[in-house]
């Protein structure tokens, strides 16, 4: 796949790497039988399956958001299929230019974000939840 922007390509590749790393960690965590700690009122932490769905839906939502902001027609991937989500990133984002990446966009309520920030969120979100699961697997309950 040829990308117009090396920066976009790097962000998409990093997102793929981190989401796959999260999935691998989640599978280990889910098989361990450990509970998510600490208990909270956040519905995304009701179970490991809820956290899995949350991370995938976030990855999908970030892609939908980028495509909407850029006017890219999107056949939205199944939010339960991580590989379909990753393929959709590869299918829809190669045409983004460096210029499009850095332009601040009005997100409403006085908030401006660049596409770069949205794509970085996609990377860091799965990274953060992977790190949480790794800490629990290591016995760190803090």
Q: Is residue 32 part of a domain?
A: no
Q: Is residue 35 part of a domain?
A: no
Instruction: Tell me the pLDDT tens digit for each residue of 40-74.
Output: 788 999 899 999 999 999 999 999 999 998 999 99
Expressed as residue numbers, the domain containing 88 is: 6-27+43-137
**Is the Cβ–Cβ distance between 36 and 47 less than 8 Å?**
yes
Number of structural domains in the chain: 1
Q: Is 42 exposed, middle or buried (0-12, 13-18, 19+ CB in 10 A)?
A: exposed
- Report field, pTM of the whole predicted structure over 0.85: yes
DSSP string, 16-52: HHHHHHHHHHHHHHHHHTPPPSS--S-GGGSSHHHHH
Q: Is residue 57 part of a domain?
A: yes
């Amino acid at each position: 796949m040829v990308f117009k922007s090396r920066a976009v390509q790097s962000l998409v590749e990093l997102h793929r790497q981190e989401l796959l790393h999260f999935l691998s960690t989640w599978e280990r965590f889910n098989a361990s039988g450990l509970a998510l700690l600490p208990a909270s009122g956040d519905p995304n932490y009701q179970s490991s399956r809820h956290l899995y769905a949350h991370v995938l839906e976030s990855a999908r939502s970030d892609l939908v958001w980028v495509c909407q902001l850029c006017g890219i027609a999107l056949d939205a991937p199944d939010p339960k299929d991580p590989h379909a989500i990753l393929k959709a990133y590869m299918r829809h984002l190669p045409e983004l230019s460096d210029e499009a990446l850095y332009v601040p966009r009005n997100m409403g309520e006085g908030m401006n974000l660049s596409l770069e920030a949205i794509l970085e969120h996609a990377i860091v979100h799965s990274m953060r939840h992977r790190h949480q699961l790794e800490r629990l697997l290591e016995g760190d309950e803090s």
